[in-house]
Structure 1
Amino acid sequence: MVIVYDHPLSPYGQKVKIALLEKGIDFQAVMPDAIGSGNTVGEFSAASPRGEVPALVDGDVTVFDSTIILEYIEDRWPDPSLLPTDPAQRARMRMLEDVMDTHFEAINWGLSEITNFRRATGELADTMMANAADQTHRWFAWLEQELGDATWFNGEHFGWGDLSVVPYVNGSVGFDLAPEKSSRLGQWLERANQRESVQQCNQAAAAVAFDSPAVSLEQVHQALEAGLFKREYRDHRLEWMVKSGGLSIVEQGLAKNNIRFIEPFAVDTEDS
């Protein structure tokens, strides 16, 4: 049985699960203990030395990083293919994924830092949320241009490009930032959310966020303030925070020791 270490709210994890579901591959989704704290250990830590979800375990094979996992899935189970046949279009799907994983993801992540983890309040929060809304709508315009008149980002069939976009746009909707329903992007989103693979991910996310959260956001906030829970500020997220007005948030997080960056991977020296 394929194992996917995952958190239902992770758009990176949703990408992987949608791909497996579209290909009809059985898998077990496992939420690691202490996910997001920076203190992950055990089998998950071995599979994902960055302490991030998703990570995939297929027998003796372990793969981390959602993009590399998607590539592994496509190589391991090539039918049905999730990529177009044309090399240029295949490259376009991968570029689309990269934009969503970096520039777009950072906006939703930043909004969560403000609204869920209360990193900013008052005028600073208002300014940063306004910046996020402006950025989101500008990316919506770009996505609509990329979609054009096609049914799917992949073309005639749902695929790599679509599963790379839908978790992030749904994330924006959760912050009351949605594409116009009558727009091409809005109509695409409605179609994508009707797919069984996407519905399963949406239901799993809703179950964690609304139906039966194991830990309340207030408890997480308290742990954050105490430095027991550390949010990851790597790469695109740090860039977003600084350019959107949150440099003071980074400084405060460093002072409180409740943000983290990737450390060198641990090495087992027992047999060396």
Structure 2
Amino acid sequence: MLLYEHPLSSYAQKIKIALREKGVPFRAELPERFGTGSGEGPFAAANPRTEVPVLIDGDVTLFESTVILEYVEERWPEPPLLPAGPAARAFARITEEVCDTQYEAVNWGFGEVLWFRRATGDLALHLRARAAAQTGVLQDWLSERLGTADWFGGAGFGWADAAAAPMVNRSVHYGLGPAPGTALARWHARVSTRPAVAATFAEFDAAAARMAEASDLYTTGGRRREYRDHRLDWMIRSGGIEVVLAGLRDANIRFSWPDP
């Protein structure tokens, strides 16, 4: 089974954590021409959006991380990641939805400044401050959902933990992790020790260490960062419309398929 992925993708990390928790073997591969938006090659044939992750399981080809996660849960039901009751399942899915939309966009925006140097000077300071403040709001929301439990699903690791782990861990990498001693900080320390999560985080760390040398590819036009839906919304409402205009001018950003 093939998983097209990038170790820095929070969406791909979610799938790798789920597969590893279930003991499902897979081969991870960074797609050729990743980040170029090219419509050619097997990766684009598998996902016209040219986004990771993409799962190829025999004759089944899937993209969109939530759809893949649902497939994994149904294809390999043990151990289950979703809880048994409908209300608890809805709770897990809402947690995942917020992580995949609002939280991912804030992390992405901070990375555009930190890793890709899309803004400098006062604008960079402003965007980083906005991301930091919003990260605090999202972590407070997650903390409230976690409550006094060890895991978002209650007694055991589950769906919401797999979705939240890459998001919170990226904030920790950025120096925006939850305050020491808080329930969410203790949860992050706990989840980081699980073998499936630890292996995934180690791959993230190794890729993050190489971002300085890779970032130029995304600002010289060799590769183009995808400014889509919640990401684009975040950049504009946070005061970074100049970043978007510069990216259009320099042709080093792209939008969602079927953007030509």
2:73 paired residue number: 74
2:60 paired residue number: 61
Could you say what secondary structure the match of 1:153 adopts?
coil
Structure 2 Cα separation of the partners of residues 192 and 20 of structure 1: 16
2:165 paired residue number: 166
2:13 maps to a residue whose letter is Q
2:96–2:163: 8 Å Cα contact kept in structure 1? yes
Could you say what secondary structure the match of 1:4 adopts?
strand
Q: Describe the superposition over 1:57-77 as per-residue Cα deviations: whole angstroms up to 9, x where unpaired.
A: 000000001000000111111
Matched, 1:186 2:185: yes
1:263 paired residue number: 257
Matched, 1:230 2:229: no
2:38 maps to a residue whose letter is N
Quote the offset at 1:40 in angstroms: 5.7
Matched, 1:217 2:216: no
Structure 2 Cα separation of the partners of residues 247 and 147 of structure 1: 35
Report the CA distance shift for 1:219/1:165 in structure 2 as closer, same or farther (over 3 A). Answer: closer
Quote the offset at 1:229 in angstroms: 1.6
2:39–2:45: 8 Å Cα contact kept in structure 1? no
1:36 paired residue number: 35
Q: Describe the superposition over 1:222-249 as per-residue Cα deviations: whole angstroms up to 9, x where unpaired.
A: x334322211000000000011110111
Q: Describe the superposition over 1:114-155 as per-residue Cα deviations: whole angstroms up to 9, x where unpaired.
A: 111111000011111111111001111111000011110011
Q: Describe the superposition over 1:178-232 as per-residue Cα deviations: whole angstroms up to 9, x where unpaired.
A: 112210111111100000000000111222222xx4xx634532x3343222110
2:153 maps to a residue whose letter is N
2:48–2:257: 8 Å Cα contact kept in structure 1? no
1:270 paired residue number: none
Q: Which runs of 5+ in 1 are unaligned?
A: 267-272
Which has the higher mean CA deviation after the structures are superposed, 200-209 or 167-176?
200-209
Report the CA distance shift for 1:133/1:265 in structure 2 as closer, same or farther (over 3 A). Answer: closer
2:215 maps to a residue whose letter is V
Pick the structure with greater CA Rg: 1
Quote the offset at 1:31 in angstroms: 0.8
Quote the offset at 1:265 in angstroms: 8.9
Matched, 1:241 2:235: yes
1:220–1:229: 8 Å Cα contact kept in structure 2? no
2:225 maps to a residue whose letter is R
Superposition RMSD in Å: 1.5
1:54–1:64: 8 Å Cα contact kept in structure 2? yes
Structure 1 Cα separation of the partners of residues 224 and 142 of structure 2: 32
Could you say what secondary structure the match of 1:32 adopts?
coil
Quote the offset at 1:251 in angstroms: 1.1
Structure 1 Cα separation of the partners of residues 39 and 29 of structure 2: 14
2:38–2:44: 8 Å Cα contact kept in structure 1? no
1:269 paired residue number: none
Quote the offset at 1:92 in angstroms: 0.9
Q: Which runs of 5+ in 2 are unaligned?
A: none
**TM-score, normalising length: structure 1:** 0.92
Quote the offset at 1:168 in angstroms: 0.5
1:228 maps to a residue whose letter is G
Could you say what secondary structure the match of 1:26 adopts?
coil
Matched, 1:177 2:172: no
1:49–1:265: 8 Å Cα contact kept in structure 2? no
Structure 2 Cα separation of the partners of residues 189 and 130 of structure 1: 23
Structure 2 Cα separation of the partners of residues 170 and 78 of structure 1: 26
Could you say what secondary structure the match of 1:62 adopts?
strand
1:259 maps to a residue whose letter is I
